[in-house]
Structure 1
Amino acid sequence: MSYLLIDFVFLAVAGAVLALALVRAPDRARLMRRWWPPVLASAVVLMALTIVFDNAMIAAGLMTYARHTVTGARVGLVPVEDLAYPIAGLLLVSGLWVLLRRRPT
Protein backbone atom coordinates (compact mmCIF):
# COMPACT_ATOMS: atom_id res chain seq x y z
CA MET A 1 0.00 0.00 0.00
CA SER A 2 1.33 3.45 -0.85
CA TYR A 3 1.40 6.46 1.42
CA LEU A 4 -0.59 8.38 -1.21
CA LEU A 5 -3.53 5.98 -0.81
CA ILE A 6 -3.36 6.31 2.98
CA ASP A 7 -3.28 10.11 2.56
CA PHE A 8 -6.46 10.03 0.49
CA VAL A 9 -8.24 8.04 3.21
CA PHE A 10 -7.16 10.44 5.98
CA LEU A 11 -8.00 13.51 3.91
CA ALA A 12 -11.40 12.08 2.90
CA VAL A 13 -12.38 11.33 6.51
CA ALA A 14 -11.18 14.73 7.74
CA GLY A 15 -12.88 16.51 4.84
CA ALA A 16 -16.12 14.62 5.50
CA VAL A 17 -16.11 15.62 9.18
CA LEU A 18 -15.47 19.26 8.27
CA ALA A 19 -18.16 19.23 5.57
CA LEU A 20 -20.68 17.70 7.98
CA ALA A 21 -19.81 20.30 10.60
CA LEU A 22 -20.25 23.17 8.16
CA VAL A 23 -23.54 21.82 6.81
CA ARG A 24 -24.92 21.57 10.35
CA ALA A 25 -23.70 25.03 11.44
CA PRO A 26 -26.61 27.50 11.55
CA ASP A 27 -24.17 30.44 11.40
CA ARG A 28 -22.15 29.00 8.52
CA ALA A 29 -21.66 32.27 6.59
CA ARG A 30 -20.36 34.21 9.59
CA LEU A 31 -18.27 31.26 10.68
CA MET A 32 -16.65 30.89 7.26
CA ARG A 33 -15.69 34.59 7.14
CA ARG A 34 -14.04 34.41 10.55
CA TRP A 35 -12.65 30.91 10.25
CA TRP A 36 -10.65 30.80 7.00
CA PRO A 37 -7.84 33.26 7.82
CA PRO A 38 -6.76 31.49 11.04
CA VAL A 39 -7.06 28.07 9.39
CA LEU A 40 -4.91 29.16 6.45
CA ALA A 41 -2.32 30.68 8.78
CA SER A 42 -2.31 27.46 10.82
CA ALA A 43 -1.85 25.42 7.64
CA VAL A 44 1.18 27.47 6.62
CA VAL A 45 2.76 27.11 10.08
CA LEU A 46 2.01 23.37 10.21
CA MET A 47 3.50 22.80 6.77
CA ALA A 48 6.64 24.78 7.60
CA LEU A 49 7.14 22.93 10.89
CA THR A 50 6.47 19.57 9.26
CA ILE A 51 9.01 20.26 6.53
CA VAL A 52 11.69 21.43 8.97
CA PHE A 53 11.30 18.70 11.58
CA ASP A 54 10.64 15.83 9.16
CA ASN A 55 13.78 16.81 7.24
CA ALA A 56 15.72 16.74 10.52
CA MET A 57 14.30 13.34 11.52
CA ILE A 58 14.95 11.81 8.11
CA ALA A 59 18.49 13.24 8.02
CA ALA A 60 19.13 11.77 11.48
CA GLY A 61 17.97 8.36 10.25
CA LEU A 62 14.91 8.16 12.50
CA MET A 63 12.55 7.59 9.55
CA THR A 64 12.97 5.89 6.19
CA TYR A 65 10.58 5.27 3.31
CA ALA A 66 10.58 2.33 0.92
CA ARG A 67 10.89 3.61 -2.63
CA HIS A 68 7.81 1.72 -3.86
CA THR A 69 5.56 3.40 -1.24
CA VAL A 70 6.23 7.04 -2.19
CA THR A 71 5.79 8.98 -5.43
CA GLY A 72 9.36 10.25 -5.43
CA ALA A 73 8.45 13.96 -5.19
CA ARG A 74 10.19 15.47 -2.20
CA VAL A 75 10.59 18.75 -0.33
CA GLY A 76 14.16 18.41 0.83
CA LEU A 77 14.23 14.87 2.19
CA VAL A 78 10.49 14.78 2.97
CA PRO A 79 8.20 12.88 0.58
CA VAL A 80 5.25 15.09 -0.37
CA GLU A 81 2.90 12.39 0.94
CA ASP A 82 4.08 13.24 4.45
CA LEU A 83 2.61 16.74 4.16
CA ALA A 84 -0.98 15.48 3.96
CA TYR A 85 -1.11 14.37 7.60
CA PRO A 86 -0.87 17.83 9.20
CA ILE A 87 -3.48 19.14 6.77
CA ALA A 88 -5.81 16.22 7.55
CA GLY A 89 -5.30 16.89 11.26
CA LEU A 90 -6.09 20.57 10.79
CA LEU A 91 -9.28 19.78 8.86
CA LEU A 92 -10.35 17.15 11.40
CA VAL A 93 -9.73 19.32 14.45
CA SER A 94 -11.47 22.28 12.80
CA GLY A 95 -14.47 20.12 11.93
CA LEU A 96 -14.67 18.70 15.45
CA TRP A 97 -14.41 22.20 16.89
CA VAL A 98 -17.38 23.33 14.80
CA LEU A 99 -19.40 20.21 15.65
CA LEU A 100 -18.73 20.32 19.40
CA ARG A 101 -18.90 24.05 20.09
CA ARG A 102 -21.81 25.72 21.81
CA ARG A 103 -24.47 26.72 19.34
CA PRO A 104 -25.11 30.43 18.88
CA THR A 105 -28.33 31.65 20.46
Structure 2
Amino acid sequence: SMALPTAHPGSRMQLLGAHADRALERAHSPAWNVTARTPPCFLLHAEDDASVPVENTLEMRAALRTAGVLAETHLFPEGGHGFGLRLAAGKPVAVWPELFRRWAEARGLA
Protein backbone atom coordinates (compact mmCIF):
# COMPACT_ATOMS: atom_id res chain seq x y z
CA SER A 1 0.00 0.00 0.00
CA MET A 2 1.09 3.55 -0.56
CA ALA A 3 -1.30 4.79 2.13
CA LEU A 4 0.05 5.64 5.55
CA PRO A 5 0.66 4.07 8.02
CA THR A 6 1.23 0.79 6.15
CA ALA A 7 3.28 2.26 3.30
CA HIS A 8 7.04 1.80 3.32
CA PRO A 9 8.02 5.45 3.91
CA GLY A 10 11.01 5.47 1.55
CA SER A 11 9.12 3.80 -1.30
CA ARG A 12 6.16 6.12 -0.82
CA MET A 13 8.38 9.20 -0.95
CA GLN A 14 10.29 7.99 -4.03
CA LEU A 15 7.16 6.96 -5.93
CA LEU A 16 4.62 9.57 -4.89
CA GLY A 17 6.58 12.51 -3.50
CA ALA A 18 6.10 14.39 -0.27
CA HIS A 19 2.57 15.65 -0.89
CA ALA A 20 0.64 12.69 -2.27
CA ASP A 21 -3.11 12.92 -1.94
CA ARG A 22 -5.52 10.04 -1.28
CA ALA A 23 -6.28 9.55 -5.00
CA LEU A 24 -2.59 9.14 -5.83
CA GLU A 25 -2.11 6.74 -2.90
CA ARG A 26 -5.02 4.61 -4.11
CA ALA A 27 -3.85 4.62 -7.72
CA HIS A 28 -0.52 3.15 -6.63
CA SER A 29 -1.78 0.71 -3.97
CA PRO A 30 -2.30 -2.77 -5.42
CA ALA A 31 -5.14 -3.71 -3.06
CA TRP A 32 -7.21 -0.76 -4.27
CA ASN A 33 -6.82 -1.92 -7.87
CA VAL A 34 -7.89 -5.56 -7.54
CA THR A 35 -10.76 -6.62 -9.78
CA ALA A 36 -12.40 -9.92 -10.63
CA ARG A 37 -9.97 -10.02 -13.59
CA THR A 38 -6.87 -9.95 -11.38
CA PRO A 39 -4.99 -13.23 -11.88
CA PRO A 40 -4.50 -15.72 -9.03
CA CYS A 41 -1.87 -14.54 -6.58
CA PHE A 42 0.79 -16.10 -4.39
CA LEU A 43 1.45 -13.95 -1.34
CA LEU A 44 4.07 -14.37 1.34
CA HIS A 45 5.37 -12.19 4.11
CA ALA A 46 7.64 -12.52 7.11
CA GLU A 47 5.94 -11.08 10.17
CA ASP A 48 9.26 -9.77 11.49
CA ASP A 49 9.75 -7.61 8.37
CA ALA A 50 10.90 -4.30 9.85
CA SER A 51 10.59 -2.46 6.50
CA VAL A 52 7.15 -3.34 5.16
CA PRO A 53 4.33 -4.06 7.62
CA VAL A 54 2.59 -7.42 7.24
CA GLU A 55 -0.66 -5.46 7.04
CA ASN A 56 0.19 -4.79 3.37
CA THR A 57 -0.10 -8.49 2.58
CA LEU A 58 -3.21 -8.89 4.73
CA GLU A 59 -4.83 -5.93 2.97
CA MET A 60 -4.04 -7.43 -0.43
CA ARG A 61 -5.40 -10.82 0.65
CA ALA A 62 -8.65 -9.21 1.81
CA ALA A 63 -9.03 -7.33 -1.49
CA LEU A 64 -8.43 -10.50 -3.49
CA ARG A 65 -11.00 -12.44 -1.47
CA THR A 66 -13.57 -9.66 -1.83
CA ALA A 67 -13.08 -9.73 -5.61
CA GLY A 68 -13.31 -13.53 -5.73
CA VAL A 69 -9.70 -13.92 -6.86
CA LEU A 70 -7.86 -17.08 -5.85
CA ALA A 71 -4.93 -16.40 -3.56
CA GLU A 72 -2.52 -18.56 -1.63
CA THR A 73 -1.08 -16.76 1.38
CA HIS A 74 1.83 -17.74 3.62
CA LEU A 75 2.87 -15.78 6.71
CA PHE A 76 6.10 -16.69 8.45
CA PRO A 77 7.21 -15.64 11.94
CA GLU A 78 10.81 -15.01 10.79
CA GLY A 79 12.50 -13.98 7.59
CA GLY A 80 12.87 -10.23 7.75
CA HIS A 81 12.70 -8.15 4.58
CA GLY A 82 14.13 -9.06 1.19
CA PHE A 83 15.04 -12.59 2.20
CA GLY A 84 14.96 -14.04 -1.32
CA LEU A 85 16.67 -17.42 -1.44
CA ARG A 86 20.05 -16.92 0.18
CA LEU A 87 18.95 -14.98 3.27
CA ALA A 88 16.11 -17.36 4.09
CA ALA A 89 18.39 -20.26 5.04
CA GLY A 90 17.71 -21.56 8.53
CA LYS A 91 14.53 -19.52 8.97
CA PRO A 92 10.91 -20.69 8.75
CA VAL A 93 10.49 -18.71 5.51
CA ALA A 94 13.13 -20.91 3.81
CA VAL A 95 10.35 -23.20 2.52
CA TRP A 96 8.82 -20.50 0.35
CA PRO A 97 10.49 -21.47 -2.97
CA GLU A 98 9.02 -24.98 -2.76
CA LEU A 99 5.59 -23.60 -1.85
CA PHE A 100 5.74 -21.27 -4.84
CA ARG A 101 6.94 -24.03 -7.18
CA ARG A 102 3.98 -26.22 -6.22
CA TRP A 103 1.57 -23.31 -6.61
CA ALA A 104 2.98 -22.42 -10.05
CA GLU A 105 2.98 -26.03 -11.25
CA ALA A 106 -0.64 -26.50 -10.19
CA ARG A 107 -1.53 -23.58 -12.48
CA GLY A 108 0.65 -24.66 -15.40
CA LEU A 109 3.06 -21.79 -14.84
CA ALA A 110 6.20 -23.85 -14.23
Fold agreement, TM-score > 0.5? no
Q: Quick check: which one's strand share is greater? A: 2
TM-score, normalised on structure 1? 0.26
Q: Quick check: which one's helix share is greater? A: 1
TM-score, normalised on structure 2? 0.25
Larger Rg: 1
